[in-house]
Amino acid sequence: MKANAMILGLSLVVGALGSAVPASAQAATAQNINISGTACKNYNASEALDIDYLTSGVRNLNASPRSVICPIARHPVTGPGQAYYVDGSNYAGASTTCTVSAYDYNGTYLSSTSFTRSDATYSNYTSLPTVSYWGYTTVLCTLPGGANGVLFGASAIDS
């Protein structure tokens, strides 16, 4: 009798813990994922020394525009598309051009969208019409020369 009561008690505790896990796991997947511009890398190998990293992001020290490429971490999505924010700043009338692209797990191109911003500070909302559950996304930005722009980072938006 005592053994049955103990088994029943353990079953109730395991059941309560088991039901709590899906709720917290579901809450975690309903959040946006941000990545700092410090995760970006020079797009062209010969321009590696032109790219400078700050605590707030990445910039280009060369007088000519230079490109950086950044991963965009994200939760796998089941819908056909996904939204993103790309954040940065420009100085002295400079502009930054970026392209957000999606690829399947095997490298097959899925979709992309581009924008150019010349705002002093920007948070550019964009979306891709086609992404893959197992795929990847990147943002390729051409930064203005002379340290006249900083790419702060990118965010994948969970909806």
Q: Give per-residue pLDDT as tens, 88-138.
A: 999 999 999 999 999 999 999 999 999 999 999 999 999 999 999 999 999
**Residue 4: band (very low, low, confident or very high) from pLDDT cuts 50, 70, 90:** low
pLDDT digits (tens, 9 = 90+) for 7-38: 444 444 444 434 444 443 444 455 889 999 99
> How far is it, in rounded angstroms, from Cα 50 to Cα 96?
16
Q: Which residues contact 96 (CB under 8 A, 6 or more apart)?
A: 88, 90, 116, 117, 118, 122, 141, 142, 143, 144, 149, 151
pLDDT of residue 21: 40
pTM: 0.80
pLDDT of residue 30: 59
Averaged pLDDT for residues 51-67: 98
